[in-house]
Amino acid sequence: MNEANSGFLFTFFNPAVAAQYWQEIARGMVVTVGVGAATVVTGVAAGLVLALARATGRASLRLPIVLFSDITRSLPPLVIIILLYFGLPALGMPLSSFASTWLSLSLVLAAYAQESIWAGLSSLPKGQMEAARSTGLGWWQAMRWVLLPQALRRAVPPLTNRVIATTKNTALGSVVALSEILSTAQASAAVAGNPTPLTVGAFLYLLVFLPLVFVARTLEHRSFNGN
């Protein structure tokens, strides 16, 4: 092994440094998974509720939902995290780094999920609702059993991509001292004086997100093939 290769391995794949810090970074992975999972559940659920409320056609609901979606999608997630973490305490509502990151990313995901599901609903022929209602189904029954399943199938590709992108943004929580993978790896690298902890962090990101990418690809394949 030449000197250049040896230096590269010592810098980025130092086994002694990795052994010293991997457990601490793994604890950061638990935080990343926790924030990511909570974001997916609340963000997608909120997006679904907003899309259904918008589908009612009531202006009193539609306009605020569209405004919320447009503003939230226009702002960088980092800005929303900072606003909630540093702004809410001034209103007497302090949030922890975990809560502010989770709430911020949930709002972002809800905005995109709402648009994806609404686009799926809008792409369906308008006559489907009328045909379903003519059989005696109520609005909610027609939506639940006829329109929504089709809309969700069409929303899968953009929604899964957005879920992956949003959950990776848990790394932005490092700005408000959230001890997730990136924050922990950066702190460990600074203490060690060696970037190997960042390599460990990158491996843990792959460990978390590669299965998610595989699941997303499977769902997209099924949605395109009508399974």
Burial class (CB in 10 A: 0-12, 13-18, 19+), 80: buried
Q: Domain span at residue 149?
A: 3-225
Domain count, the chain: 1
Long-range contacts: 72-76, Cβ < 8 Å, 24+? 72/107, 72/108, 72/110, 72/111, 73/108, 73/111, 73/112, 73/115
Q: What is the pLDDT of residues 121-158, one digit of tens each?
A: 999 998 899 899 998 999 999 999 999 999 999 999 89
Residue 185 belongs to a domain with what CATH number?
1.10.3720.10
Q: Which helix (H) or strand (E) holds 157?
A: helix 148-168
Q: How many CA atoms lie within 13 A of 123 on its CB side?
A: 14
pLDDT of residue 221: 81
The token duo for 172 is 């932005």
Q: What is the pLDDT of residues 59-76, one digit of tens each?
A: 999 999 999 999 999 999
Record the pTM.
0.91
Mean pLDDT rounded to a whole number for the chain: 92
Give residue 223's pLDDT band: very low, low, confident or very high (50, 70, 90): confident
- Is a pLDDT exceeding 70 seen at residue 191? yes
Q: pLDDT confidence of 11, banded at 50, 70, 90?
A: confident
Instruction: Find where tokens 């305490």 sit.
Output: 89
